[in-house]
């Protein structure tokens, strides 16, 4: 089969089953599916799934979902009515999208902290727990914190577990729903000070509350590159 015929055949299949392509996409791309569809300059397989007559196939999905994306934000679905505190918090957070919402205090990463984490997790790799060997053999010339220790410290670094000053005092429950992406651009050496900088990326109404997508960067004092960059998903229930 010629390449042209193969691509034509694939286009016809996607035209008949446009929603299957959406299921194949990664979650990060799927969130912005409609935005891809609306941009005519994108590749046909992503942005303009064509029907047999060469017309974009978007109306059916728009009618079925009836969700509007404005400035990267998903507006409330007709079936989700925000009332009371949920509506007030949504209005406040919606105005903060794209802004840095929190800068935490510096936290010192000690060898004792790293050793305790190693004891709990069973990860006693020498690059974390043997300062003498790390000084002699490691390219970092020091022991470094576990990547998962950095993640475990996020609630403390972001202030989300501060009982005296809760971030969302009117929420009945705040749930860590997961992480969309995690990267460790630079090692955090033992003896360093770190802090978290948080930016609100998206706020979406859900049944019973709100879902937040945040970008969190763990900054190392005196180092240009961050120790960790995370896309964190949290849910607030009212």
The answer as to whether 77 is a domain residue is no
What's the pLDDT band for 141 if we cut at 50, 70, 90? very high
Same domain, 231 and 150: yes
Please report whether residue 215 resides in a domain: yes
Indicate whether 147 and 220 sit together in one domain.
Answer: yes
Domain that holds residue 58: 1-65
User: In the structure, what pLDDT confidence band is assigned to residue 162 with cuts at 50, 70 and 90?
Assistant: confident
Same domain, 165 and 125: yes
**Residue 101 and residue 8 share a domain:** no
* Structural domain contains residue 160: yes
Q: Are residues 61 and 170 in the same domain?
A: no
Quick one: pLDDT at residue 37? Answer: 45
In a domain, 75, yes or no: no
- Tell me the CATH number at 156: 3.10.129.10
With a cut of 70, say whether residue 236 has pLDDT above it: yes
How many angstroms separate the CA atoms of 96 and 99, rounded?
Answer: 5
Strand partners, 237: 173, 209
Confidence of residue 7 (pLDDT cuts 50, 70, 90): low
Number of folded domains that form the chain: 2
Residue 204 C-beta-side C-alpha neighbours within 13 Å = 19
Supply 53's token pair: 């007559």
Predicted confidence at residue 67, as pLDDT, reads 43
C-alpha 67/C-alpha 75 separation (Å) is 6
Instruction: Tell me how far apart the alpha carbons of residues 131 and 129 are, in angstroms, rounded to a whole number.
Output: 6
Task: Output the six-digit token pair for 76.
Answer: 């409330």
Residue with tokens 């089969």: 1
| pLDDT, tens only, 52-99 | 334 333 333 333 334 444 445 554 455 678 889 999 999 999 999 999
What would the pLDDT profile of 97-123 be if each residue is shown by its tens digit?
Answer: 999 999 999 999 999 999 999 999 999
158, part of any domain: yes
**CA-CA distance, 93 to 76, in Å (whole number)?**
14
């Amino acid at each position: 089969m010629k390449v042209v015929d193969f691509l034509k055949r694939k286009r016809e299949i996607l035209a008949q089953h446009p929603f299957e392509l959406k299921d194949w996409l990664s979650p990060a791309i799927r969130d912005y599916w409609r935005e891809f569809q609306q941009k005519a300059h994108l590749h046909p397989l992503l942005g303009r799934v064509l029907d047999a007559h060469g017309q974009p196939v978007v109306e059916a999905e728009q009618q079925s979902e009836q969700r509007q994306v404005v400035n990267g934000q998903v507006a409330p679905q007709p079936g989700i009515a925000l009332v009371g505190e949920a509506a007030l918090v949504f209005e406040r957070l919606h105005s903060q999208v794209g802004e840095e919402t929190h800068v935490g205090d510096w936290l010192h990463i000690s060898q004792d902290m790293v050793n305790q984490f190693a004891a709990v997790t069973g990860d006693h790799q020498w690059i974390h727990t043997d300062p003498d060997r790390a000084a002699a053999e490691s390219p970092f010339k020091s022991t470094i914190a576990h990547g998962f220790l950095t993640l475990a410290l996020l609630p403390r670094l972001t202030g989300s577990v501060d009982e005296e000053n809760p971030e969302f005092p009117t929420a009945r429950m705040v749930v860590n729903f997961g992480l969309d992406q995690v990267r460790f651009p630079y090692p955090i050496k033992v003896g360093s000070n770190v802090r978290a900088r948080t930016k609100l990326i998206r706020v979406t109404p859900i049944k019973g509350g709100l879902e937040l997508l945040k970008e969190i960067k763990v900054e190392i004092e005196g180092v240009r590159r961050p120790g960790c960059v995370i896309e964190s998903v949290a849910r607030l229930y009212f």
